[in-house]
Amino acid sequence: MTRIRIAPSILSADFTCLARAVTEVAEAGADWIHVDVMDGHFVPNLTFGMPIVAALRRITPLPLDVHLMIEAPERYLEAFARAGADGLIVHVEACPHLHRVIQQIRELGLRAGVALNPATPLSALEEILPDVDQVLIMTVNPGFGGQAFIERMLEKVRRARKMIDALGRPIELEVDGGVGPENALALVEAGATVLVAGAYIFEAPQGQPAEAVQRLRKAIQPQ
């Protein structure tokens, strides 16, 4: 059975205690750390870049899943690889030469992922799917943590799973945005293998990040 990976997004973490936040979720069983890089152009928000990836690399052995919400990501692939990223995800909407960008990521020895905004049809994957290790379905419009899950994306995840299964390659299917215990099981049943969660884990009013990771894990246990 595929291990469902939980990937806390540090976007909503307390940046004054980032090391503690990461250690807590790692000890609670998080599988990857999701790192949201935004450039203020592709998305209407700015976050952080290579130095944060490099800092995370020093404090955790967990794979760093770097989500590039930036225009022309090819400018920075090498720098993110050097900083210690394990996987780089680029948006199809930001890459007119997507095939080349994916090859560049693979040549760097990293997992290559493609992300789709909610309004981008799955047909955008058709020609690139055989070349990627990971597909990320945005379940909110990218740019901010803490937004509401777009229900219609559940059906998109189901269709993406069918496309991947038809290809017969072990491609991870990741969902990102508004994920929490209330929709996690439905997403896994629809075929998701990686659950990104930011606000639910790091802004949990009812407890600590570690407990939130455990609750998310519990929500996806087969009954």
- DSSP letter for each residue of 46-109: B---HHHHHHHHHH--S-EEEEEESSSGGGTHHHHHHHT-SEEEEEGGG-TTHHHHHHHHHHTT
Tell the smallest beta-carbon distance from residue 107 to ligand DX5 (Å): 25
Give the separation between CA 116 and CA 124, rounded to whole angstroms.
Answer: 8
Tell the smallest beta-carbon distance from residue 1 to Zn ion (Å): 25
208 binds, options ligand DX5, Zn ion, none, Cβ within 5 to 8 A by partner type: none
36 is catalytic: yes
Q: How many residues bind Zn ion (CB under 5 A)?
A: 3
3-state secondary structure of 39: strand
- The answer to whether the beta carbons of residues 179 and 150 sit under 8 Å apart is no
- The smaller minimum CB distance to Zn ion, of residues 39 and 176, is found at 176
Candidate list 36, 39, 65, 133, residue with the active-site label:
36
Best CA proximity match to 67, nearest among 140, 150, 126: 140
176 binds Zn ion (CB under 5 A): yes
Tell the smallest beta-carbon distance from residue 196 to Zn ion (Å): 5
131 is catalytic: no
133 binds Zn ion (CB under 5 A): no
Could you tell me the CA-to-CA distances from 87 to 39, 53, 78, 145, 220 in Å, in that order?
Answer: 18, 11, 12, 20, 24
To the nearest 10°, report the CA torsion of 26, 156, 119, 129: 80
Residues that bind ligand DX5 (CB under 6 A): 9, 11-12, 34, 36, 67, 140, 142-143, 145-147, 176-179, 196-200
91 binds Zn ion (CB under 5 A): no
147 binds, options ligand DX5, Zn ion, none, Cβ within 5 to 8 A by partner type: ligand DX5
Angle at 143 between CA 165 and CA 17, to 5 degrees: 100
Q: Pick from 24, 31, 36, 39: which binds Zn ion (CB under 5 A)?
A: 36
Q: Pick from 67, 91, 156, 161: which binds Zn ion (CB under 5 A)?
A: 67
| Residues belonging to the active site | 36, 176
Binding site for Zn ion (CB under 5 A): 36, 67, 176
